[in-house]
């Protein structure tokens, strides 16, 4: 179990550019989440996958944001035409769905990708 | 909808002193509760969780929390803190439905000094 990994750890981009982040979940986990964390705030939910299906998107996920999880393994989060307000830490988490109702609620987080839009 | 309120944004304490970080939640349905810790420039690490059963739950690094349904609280405690406990602590809630997102509080900065 190598944990959740994210790449890159830091990204600086100019306003208007596109950026893409990658998340590799814990290998046997079938659920994958993306959150955004701004300075002084707790993480806020963006979107969630079960296997390759994107099952939920928050209102924070504007049309400029798109996420994919091909083959139900790693996931990518792309932001098009970045704005200064997109500057934040983007966190990925994964969990394992089980047959018991109590399983799958613990989410394990990666180290995050810090995006700075200049 | 669920919400989480962390009542203290900053808690300064001296090393070896006890500490309590307060968390209240709001929900019309049953919830699961979590505490996460975040060290500078790192992701979140799960400290402990309440899913059901005993209302006193023990986690890693000597932390424990007590679920109080009548007061809708889930306060985090440690009897004796160390310098290394200095970090941001987040309380989170999710409803009793698999796959739903965590709702986080704004966090409490615990600063431990000698």
The structure tokens 């990666």 sit at: A110
Tell me which DSSP letter residue B102 carries.
Answer: P
Distance, CA of A21 to CA of A112 (rounded, Å)? 10
What is the pLDDT at residue A104? Answer: 59
Residue B75 is predicted with a pLDDT of: 98
Q: Do A112 and B45 touch (CB under 8 A)?
A: no
Work out how many CB contacts closer than 8 A connect A with B. 70
Distant-in-sequence contacts of A99-104, Cβ < 8 A, 24+ apart: A101/B96, A101/B98, A102/B32, A102/B51, A102/B52, A103/B98, A104/A31, A104/B98, A104/B99
Cβ burial, residue B98 (10 Å; 0-12/13-18/19+): middle
Chain B residues near residue A42 by CB distance under 8 angstroms: 4, 90, 92, 104-107
| Per-residue model confidence (pLDDT) at position A99 | 56
**Torsion sign over Cα A88, A86, B100, A51:** negative
Put simply, whether A90 touches B (Cβ < 8 Å) is no
Q: How far is the alpha carbon of B42 from chain A, nearest alpha carbon, in Å?
A: 5
**pLDDT per position as a tens digit, B44-79:** 999 999 988 889 999 999 999 999 999 999 999 999
What is the pLDDT tens value at each position of chain A, 118 positions in all?
A: 579 999 999 999 999 999 999 999 999 898 999 999 998 899 999 999 999 999 889 988 899 999 999 988 999 999 999 999 999 999 999 998 765 555 657 899 999 999 999 9
Written in H, E and C, the secondary structure of chain A is CCCCEEECCEEEECCCCCEEEEEECCCCCCEEEEEEECCCCCCEEEEEEECCEEEEECCCCCCCEEEECHHHCCEEEEECCCCHHHCEEEEEEEECCCCCCCCCCCCEECCCEEEEEC
Which residues of B touch chain A, with CB atoms under 8 Å apart?
4, 32, 34, 36, 41-46, 49, 51-52, 90, 92, 94, 96, 98-107
Q: Per mean pLDDT, which of A68-77, B15-24, B47-56, B87-96 is the most reliable?
A: B15-24
Contact B107 A42 (CB under 8 A): yes
What confidence score (pLDDT) does residue A75 get? 97
Residues from chain A contacting residue B45 (CB–CB below 8 Å): 109
Q: Which residues of A touch B36 (CB under 8 A)?
A: 109
Using CB atoms within 10 Å of the CB of residue A21, give its burial: 0 to 12 exposed, 13 to 18 middle, 19+ buried: buried
Q: Does A104 touch chain B (CB under 8 A)?
A: yes
CB–CB of A13/A32 below 8 Å?
no
Residue with token string 């600086």:
A12
Considering chain B, what is the average pLDDT of its residues? 93
Nearest by Cα to B33 from B70, B2, B63, B1: B2
| Distances in whole angstroms, Cα of residue B48 to Cα of each of A66, A87, B27, B51 | 32, 30, 20, 10
Strand pairing class (A44-50; B23-26) = unpaired
**What whole-number distance in Å separates Cα of residue A9 and Cα of residue A30?**
23
């Amino acid at each position: 179990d190598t944990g959740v990994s994210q790449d890159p750890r830091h990204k600086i981009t100019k306003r208007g550019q596109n950026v893409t982040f990658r998340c590799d979940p814990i290998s046997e986990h079938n659920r994958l989440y993306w959150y955004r964390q701004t300075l002084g705030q707790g993480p806020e939910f963006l979107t969630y996958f079960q296997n390759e299906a994107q099952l939920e998107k928050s209102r924070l996920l504007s049309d400029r944001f798109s996420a994919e999880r091909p083959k139900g393994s790693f996931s990518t989060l792309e932001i098009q035409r970045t704005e200064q307000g997109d500057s934040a830490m983007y966190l990925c988490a994964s969990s394992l769905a089980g047959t018991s109702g109590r399983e799958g609620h613990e989410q394990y987080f990666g180290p995050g990708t810090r995006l700075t839009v200049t | 909808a669920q919400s989480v309120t962390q009542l203290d944004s900053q808690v300064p304490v001296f090393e070896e002193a006890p500490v309590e970080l307060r968390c209240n939640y709001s929900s019309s349905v049953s919830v699961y509760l979590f505490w996460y810790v975040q060290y500078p420039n790192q992701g979140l690490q799960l400290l402990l969780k309440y899913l059901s059963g005993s209302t006193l739950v023990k986690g890693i690094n000597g932390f424990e929390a007590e679920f109080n349904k009548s007061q809708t609280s889930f306060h985090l405690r440690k009897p004796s803190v160390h310098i290394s406990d200095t970090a941001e602590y987040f309380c989170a809630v999710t409803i009793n439905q698999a796959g739903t997102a965590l709702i986080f509080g704004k966090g409490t900065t615990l600063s431990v000094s000698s």
